[in-house]
Amino acid sequence: MRCEPQQIADWHRDAQEALREGRLREAHQHCLAILEADPTHADAWFLCGLIAAHNRQFAKAADILLKAIELAPANAEYRAELSRQYIALRQYRRALDCAAQALSLRPGDVPTLNTLGVVFSHAGEHARALDCFEAATGMLQQPGRSGRFSSGWRAELYFNFAAALKFAGRFDAAESACETAIALQPQLYRAHSALAQLRRQTTGKNHLARLQALRDKVSSATDQLHLGHAIAKELEDLGEFTAALENLQWAKQRQVQRVAYRPATDAALFDRVRALFGRELFRSAVPAGGCDNPEPIFVVGMPRTGTTLVEQILGSHSSVFAAGELLAFPLQVKEMTGSESEEVLDIATMEQSLRLDMAALGAAYIDSTRPRTGHSPHFIDKLPLNFMYLGLIRLALPGAKLICLRRDPMDTCLSNYRQLFATGFRHYYYSYDLLDCGRYYLRFDQLIRHWQEVLPGGLLELDYEELVTDPEAAAKKLVAYCGLPWEQQCLDFHHRGASVATASAVQVRQPIYQNAIGRWRRYGDAMQPLYELLSAAGCYPPDK
């Protein structure tokens, strides 16, 4: 089919406009017309890739974008978008390689830099993400630039910038970026909840009036979660613990109905893991057949129990790199089992995992952490949920160090209830109800006791309370367990400049403090049902 260049240009313009307005079918039709006339039209291929991505066909989108890049290899935007699809496919190594290639082309447009910032952030390269967001917001402030983008789009950019600044420990700048995002889009509730976490609010400086005025405007369960958590955090800072708990209950009520969490589902998973990984699998002190790489240090535990603190202490050692919360091990298990279930972690996948070649699993895990790791003798993988995989990790990586954080059961459950986790991750659905937190904790406790029984000497348990009351002794225990010489800088972790991309990003920039011990007692009678649940299971003596 032969067409005039002007006709192709018109179709191209119409396709871009249709895509911007969400008319995907129409945009696709225009692109097909272009490609029939000119199969080498790189941007038509690029737009088709975007359309596939909008339809959540991420693998198809990646294939189409590769065609666009083949036709226009110097286009940074195409490579940035491809790296985003690799993130969606959880192919983090490919995503990093592709994003680095895009960045090497020195992109000069705001959207491409924003995309690269998001990719680097998801892949754990937070310093590079910050550079991208800083460059993008700087360009946005140039005369004539901001008018090209909607206020909502600009708000999202500033929200991304704020998150990167928080991870880098630049809290004043993060607060300013959050305020800019809120000014652009007052109902960007994620920005409100992020802002509340950046500092301790006071009676003279807080956002409660603005937050309370938004309560009647929330339109989704997710918005209500963010707003309610923001209000609860600021009330708690002001010592109004009863009101804070009431707002947490309000925050979660719609989400509880939406996710329909069933404790029995998690209970069945915990029970099956214990049954699968019995004592007979670990007859020798070091199981044979695994990968002998000694680099990994796995730090696990319930969230909000000191795992980030341990990561920062060990990560301050000259021989250790803190790699953050990697999904690498669960994803390798899922991929290698070929499990067709939708969840990364479920009974079917765990059952099939024992049929794997353990040496191959361990080697594939190590390889999947590159190139972020490999430049130091050891690296830390601090994904809390890896406590479910400790038996499999022992089989696949017998030389890995395993550290589990423990904390007072009541404080653990309350901290999980107070935390707003990723809303789309099923394994945190228990956190929407305080008693469900208690039920989950009891299953966790039972599993860790099981690991101690079947992996004698293979798991170091450390109490959060021990860590914060005698940090030097606890730090020396951690360093010695990892087979490393003591370095005094392990106690000066809060002076490090490294990024921290967890819910504890603000806390670990401070010296170790003890005022979170016994936090649950401040909430009064509302905690009694949880206390009774845990006491009945033996967590507390009758007279405590």
pLDDT tens by residue, 97-108:
999 999 999 999
Question: Is 24:54 a contact under the CB 8 Å cutoff?
Answer: yes
Cross-strand bridge partners of residue 320: 378
| 258: nearest Cα among 421, 413, 426, 385 | 426
Q: Which residues contact 16 (CB under 8 A, 6 or more apart)?
A: 27, 47
Q: Residue 259 and residue 238: Cα distance in Å, rounded?
A: 31
> Is the peptide bond preceding residue 303 cis, with omega within 30 degrees of 0?
no
Q: What is the pTM of this model?
A: 0.89
Q: Which residues contact 386 (CB under 8 A, 6 or more apart)?
A: 298, 300, 329, 330, 393
| 191: nearest Cα among 178, 180, 200, 201 | 178
* Coil, strand or helix at 219: coil
| Domains of the chain, each with CATH number or no CATH | 186-260 (no CATH), 263-536 (3.40.50.300)
| 164: nearest Cα among 109, 118, 214, 231 | 118
**Could you report the per-residue pLDDT of 361-384, keeping only the tens digit for each?**
999 999 999 989 999 999 999 999
* Coil, strand or helix at 161: helix
DSSP secondary-structure letter at 489?
G
Q: Which residues contact 300 (CB under 8 A, 6 or more apart)?
A: 307, 383, 384, 385, 386, 387, 390, 402, 403, 404, 405
Task: For the chain, list residues with pLDDT below 70.
Answer: 1-2, 146-147, 284-288, 495-511, 543-544
Q: Residue 219 and residue 238: Cα distance in Å, rounded?
A: 28
Cβ burial of 259 (10 Å; 0-12, 13-18, 19+) is: middle
Cross-strand bridge partners of residue 298: 381, 402
Q: Residue 420 and residue 408: Cα distance in Å, rounded?
A: 20
So what's the pLDDT on residue 496? Answer: 61
Cross-strand bridge partners of residue 299: 403
So what's the pLDDT on residue 2? Answer: 65
Q: Sheet harboring 460-463: ordered strands across?
A: 320-322, 378-381, 296-301, 401-406, 460-463
The upper half-sphere exposure of residue 46, i.e. CA atoms within 13 Å in the direction of its Cβ, equals 19
Question: Is 190:227 a contact under the CB 8 Å cutoff?
Answer: no
So what's the pLDDT on residue 3? Answer: 72
Q: Residue 433 and residue 257: Cα distance in Å, rounded?
A: 11
Q: Residue 537 and residue 319: Cα distance in Å, rounded?
A: 41
Catalogue the E-assigned strands of 424-497. 460-463
Q: Write the DSSP assignment of 104-153 as a string of letters.
A: HT---SHHHHHHHHHHHHHTT-HHHHHHHHHHHHHHHTSTTTGGGS-HHH
So what's the pLDDT on residue 457? Answer: 87
DSSP secondary-structure letter at 449?
H
So what's the pLDDT on residue 363? Answer: 97
Q: Residue 429 and residue 259: Cα distance in Å, rounded?
A: 7
Question: Is 299:382 a contact under the CB 8 Å cutoff?
Answer: yes
Cβ burial of 216 (10 Å; 0-12, 13-18, 19+) is: exposed
| 343: nearest Cα among 384, 404, 393, 385 | 385
Question: Is 163:194 a contact under the CB 8 Å cutoff?
Answer: yes
Q: Residue 273 and residue 348: Cα distance in Å, rounded?
A: 11
Provide the pairing of β-strand 320-322 with 378-381: parallel
**Neighbouring C-beta atoms of residue 409, cutoff 10 Å:** 24
Q: What type of residue sits at position 320?
A: V
Which helix or strand (DSSP H or E) is residue 330 part of? helix 328-337
Provide the pairing of β-strand 460-463 with 378-381: unpaired
Cross-strand bridge partners of residue 378: 320
